[in-house]
Structure 1
């Protein structure tokens, strides 16, 4: 039974609550390193996953081609038409002047993405798709937004990313799992399916998604997992993770991550969640427009440097990716053939339906480990089928392989997805990996306050999650701005873990 069905009482907000050690669940620590857990044969004992928000590969990494010509990036001549029906409207050419704080959130719904990659909401048969509708779609949302979505970052403007591209591995053909928005894609990260979710389905999200995840597979094998969350753990959309026995697997990032890394007790499967709400006292660092990309650079630098200084460093593989492209231009055609449905479910967002047999747009992905040669570029995977690609289901597929996990794959999708374990090609760990990355940049423009802004669809989903954690069918109607939503979800998460701790101490069943 999930905690959301057990505890619906509102409790006064106290101090920030850390789920108590020893209250049930698999505790923080690397069982393979410390003894008493599942056996891992290879050098990687800890996989760390950090997933940022809503940026395409070309937008973040396209001009990294200047540093390494092997990267399938931008030449600077790529264009998109301003209109799909009027050629006389002209084109927009890519630039290297992406702003750190975007003027608006580009379209990234299923419908928007169909226009972006096919130039149509109804005809999605082109193979390969022309990738010609990004500018026209953006312009239909806000005049001038086409310039923003066709812009990319110059390498010198994002020095943290640039250093990691040069020092480790970049994957230049990693695609979002679904041609849709955040939540369906985030669900694929750890379960290789969205259980039929193709858009913002409030009822389904409030109930929690029932599919099995890689977290449970890791736990069943006698290994450890941990989720280090900031503001709210998005992973609680998986209903199984709301069980009391997993209480000890959730850790407030600010209170636990740096210390656990320093002590060398990070779990075998470690997930870091960024801040999704931008308030003055707690700036968002997830890179979601219209949040400041400089804050995301600071988070990535902090995570890398904590891992690099950890006694676990020579046993770590860090993966940094983005959930979906967020409406930003990318020139590489999305794979539309040979992609299996994970479970046969069909998504519905009237008047549209989707069979989950094509992928989303390409997103930036980095692989970081002392077992990876500097300057590595991964293109398409070598199997397991002739149509396999790197996508979010590659994460559970690779964890299964690295950790020698027993049992079947989670779905048909992770059975098909390419694994990236081959990037660990060195025979001994490098000793020249930088101890520190370049300083994160300051914003290229002042950051406007967004506390009074209305919520993005993703933030609305997180507020729905917060309501469900308190046994409420829906959040209060007045919880409609970023500031109010941030306060609401903070209280909800605190109260959820307090109630869970109390229930665990009382000996209630999972």
Structure 2
């Protein structure tokens, strides 16, 4: 506890901990279209999917910074510059197709071994003890497997320099996504007492009178940091960080803005979409070994419904992935502070103002989405990371005016209309996501591990 208290003191000194009123904004928000913004975007939606690297999804996409020719990952990584591997065995990138996959490890320890001090040669060595993987980290998907995502890249924006915010798993990366900080500086763990000391983007928006919602697929309000649940259900408190805050549970004006995904479709139909929307899946998360096709159908339902709504002409919808999932990626992540960046993740943008068929190579991380929100609606940054981040404005062409909606096909052959049933409930994807034993968490919280001079004991759902 003394280590945690000291760490919280550091956060306070750095300005990460502030006094946040229980409910800081008026009960009724001004309609999003009437709010002053610095761009034509009046509705910004961000969705966080799960566990894929850029090269795993777009490593063979034309024009993107994908898998280099001649890549063959050594089975044994080297420990020093100039050293040669213990043997000549290596695995080339291969198309996964219909092969069954397993959930790879994606903790901070795995990231460290794969990164290997920037040599990027440990993607197989990190799993040397898991013989059943048989080179799986080098597998990739392409337009035969995720045709809709590739169609989005052809017609809107694909980002090939979106780095995960932290060199680890879901807790830190989701906290960076909504707070611009790791939340728990001791490690990639939830705090049993919650995160009330850490301000969120939702606090900033609430104080400014900017409407927001957090849409959750298959939302279960009874599952939060006080009653965390287990297995699949336990992942909800990691993927929805406000559920680790007393104020977001106890203040009706805040708790009422964390809602089931069905409200997204209702808000589109009724013209009540908020200015800022955060979204997370459940069974359609694409988290291995779950179905990536279920994730595509889910995302397509969200974007098609937006395109056929009154909100389309002033909207931007962006999605990315919370961590790399243990998959190969060839680009060494810049190290901007003691937490990251981590490896690249796929990221795409759909908007009437998005550049057409554009690969954007601006260096970004999850706090870049915060930076866009802060700049667009005039709210102050949450921390040093989002204050210094690049935002996503390079992906837009506001001078060209808004484009008409273009409903993209689920295949690579032709355009087609969306299905009308947007209320699909996707099944959960098994027990591969999340185990959160409090005893183990408490033990890890006080344990230390050296990684380039920082504490990194991590678990990841």
Range class of TM-score, shorter chain: 0.7 to 0.9
Distance 1:26 1:50 in 2: 26
Farther off after superposition, 415-424 or 165-174: 415-424
For 1:379 and 1:174, how far apart are their aligned partners in 2? 8
**Among 370, 374, 398, which residue is 2:352 paired with?**
370
Report what 1:79 is aligned to.
Answer: 72
Q: Displacement of 1:159 after TM fit?
A: 1.0
Q: Is the 8 A contact 1:25 1:248 kept in 2?
A: no
1:51 aligns with 48
Q: 2:151 touches 2:409 (CA, 8 Å); kept in 1? A: yes
- For the pair 1:288 / 2:287, whether they are aligned, the reply is yes
CA distance in 1, matches of 2:180, 2:322: 13
Instruction: List alignment gaps of at least 5 residues for structure 2.
Output: 1-22, 79-84, 220-235, 414-426, 439-461
Change (3 A) 1:77 1:61: same
**What is the match of residue 242 of structure 1?**
249
Number of residues of Structure 1 aligned to a counterpart in Structure 2: 376
Partner residue, 2:60: 63
- Tell me, yes or no, if structure 1 residue 190 matches structure 2 residue 178: yes
**Residue 274 of structure 1: how far off its partner (Å):** 0.1
1:390 to 351, 355, 364: 364
CA distance in 1: counterparts of 2:394 and 2:150, whole angstroms: 22
With over 3 angstroms needed to count, the CA separation of the structure-2 counterparts of 1:25 and 1:376, relative to structure 1, is: same
- Rate the CA distance shift 1:138–1:271 in 2: closer, same or farther, 3 A: same
1:274 paired residue number? 281
| Shift, 1:247, TM fit | 2.0
Q: For 1:227 and 1:360, locate their aligned partners in 2 and report how far apart those are by CA, in whole Å.
A: 25
Alignment counterpart, residue 375 of structure 2, candidates 401, 409, 428: 401
Contact 1:181–1:199 (CA under 8 A) maintained in structure 2: no
1:133 aligns with 2:122: yes
Note the aligned Cα RMSD (angstroms): 2.7
**Structure 2 contact 59–140 (Cα < 8 Å) conserved:** yes
* Structure 1 residues 396-435: aligned runs within 5 Å: 396-405=370-379, 407=380, 409-435=381-407
Tell me the CA shift for residue 29 of structure 1: 7.2
- Specify which of 252, 275, 292 is matched with residue 260 of structure 2: 252
Q: 5 Å matches for 1:102-501?
A: 102=101, 104-118=102-116, 124=117, 129-140=118-129, 142-197=130-185, 199-202=187-190, 204-208=191-195, 210-232=197-219, 234-239=240-245, 240-244=247-251, 245-254=253-262, 256-275=263-282, 284-336=283-335, 339-340=336-337, 355-356=338-339, 358-380=340-362, 389-405=363-379, 407=380, 409-438=381-410, 451=430, 453=431, 456=433, 459-461=434-436
Structure 1-normalised TM-score?
A: 0.68
Q: CA deviation at 1:437?
A: 3.4
Distance 1:30-1:160 versus aligned 2 partners, 3 A rule: farther
Distance 1:223 1:93, change over 3 A: same
So what's the TM-score if we normalise by structure 2? 0.75
Counterpart residue number, 2:32: 32
Give CA-to-partner distance per residue, 1:58-103, whole Å, 9 cap, x none: 00111112xxx2x10124532211112653251011112255752x
How far does the alpha carbon of each residue in 1:443-500 deviate from its partner, in whole angstroms, 9 at most, with x for none? xxxxx9965x4x53xx224x97xxxxxxxxxxxxxxxxxxxxxxxxxxxxxxxxxxxx
**CA deviation string 1:104-161 (max 9, x = no partner):** 211211111100011xxxxx4xxxx111100121333x21425221011122210111
- State the distance in 2 between where 1:264 and 1:76 align: 49
Judging changes above 3 Å, is the alpha-carbon distance between structure 1 residues 320 and 231 closer, same or farther for their aligned structure 2 residues? Answer: same
5+ residue gaps, structure 1, are: 1-22, 119-123, 276-283, 341-354, 381-388, 442-447, 465-510
